Amino acid sequence: MNAIERRRNELRAYTPPLTRTAEEVEAFWQPRLAAAARRPLNVRRERTDAELFGDTAVYRVTYDAHDGTAIGAWFIVPPSAAGQPHPCVVLYPGYSTDRGYPERHAKWLLAGCCVFAVDARGQGGETGNGLTSGSGQARGWMTQGLLDPEGGYYAALLLDAVRAVEAAAEMPEVDAARVASAGGSQGGGLALAAAALGRRVCAVAADIPNLCHLDYAVMHSTGSVSEVADYVSRHPERLDEVLERLSYYDMMNLAYRIEVPVLMSVGWKDPVCPPETVYAAYNRLTVPKTICDYPFLGHQVPEYQGRETLLFLRERFRVLRAMK
């Protein structure tokens, strides 16, 4: 057995103890999900850039988050979707980025999929952030209201992920039974969260996902979770309270709620989403699942993985269509 095989075996056996029980997870999330469900989505859309994309329909969409924040998105319909509902991929952005320009998502249109690409509130896109906070925070967004009773930014971001799928399913061109969630890094974590906390996702493609094994990530990640480490460094007396709150957003603890097939990828040299964090969540999944290891890559998604994702979702969409 060579070193790579040994490392793979170590990772696939890595199952750190859960930091929150299922009963505690349900007690935290059920009232928040119920309250969010009572808030209308109020989806608005307007066609744009028709002269640039020809027969491809591009819509600028906004919908209301649970707190009234207007979330921005693109909804893109391939020409082949005329007259019949098509599968849709909801795409979540990486940390501090945005949904981009519509042409960023062309590969999905080539595959015959509608696209619903969303912003993350307050980050790099056009979407604001209506949250208030009763306490200070470190740089960035991750610690905004972290210890507030309603959960602050993390809780809002995960609820936003669920509502994005619900908004996509409302589009008349979309087959609501074939809506998948996808993204990389923060987007990968949100893709998992959309399936864990919602019930409208049919498959998940999560590349190098964040929001996994967060107690470990606070110690080791150089990415967005390091903001939490900065916060605790300023307020060491709050460490236990911070770790308790993070545990409710941890995909390792929420994995039991995912009921659809999952494709994940992981870079073994990733300093932002270390492989231990990714595998801690992956190894807790009890659904059909596949993980693609990249022993020599860091925090990046290779082109090869993009093709694997297309093949994975195409097959899932095909199976669901055949079941109708």
d(CA 311, CA 137): 42
Report the chain (324 residues): mean pLDDT per 10 consecutive residues: 93 97 97 96 90 84 94 91 84 94 92 95 84 74 85 93 98 96 98 97 98 97 93 93 96 98 98 98 98 97 97 93 78
Token representation of residue 159 = 């609820």
What pLDDT score was predicted for residue 108?
94
240 carries an active-site annotation? no
Contact 287, 260 (CB under 8 A): yes
Of the residues 119, 160, 207, 270, only one is catalytic, namely 270
d(CA 240, CA 276): 21
* DSSP assignment of 52-64: HHTTSEEEEEEEE
What pLDDT score was predicted for residue 102?
93
What pLDDT score was predicted for residue 50?
67
135 carries an active-site annotation? no
185 carries an active-site annotation? yes
Q: Please report which helix (H) or strand (E) contains residue 314, including its range.
A: helix 303-322
Question: Does the domain spanning 15-322 belong to CATH 3.40.50.300?
Answer: no
Of the residues 66, 67, 181, 185, only one is catalytic, namely 185
Three-state secondary structure call for residue 198 = coil
Contact 274, 314 (CB under 8 A): no
Domain limits, the chain: 15-322
Q: What angle do CA 211, 65, 89 make, to 5 degrees?
A: 60
Of the residues 66, 86, 105, 299, only one is catalytic, namely 299
What pLDDT score was predicted for residue 82?
62
Residue 67 DSSP code: T
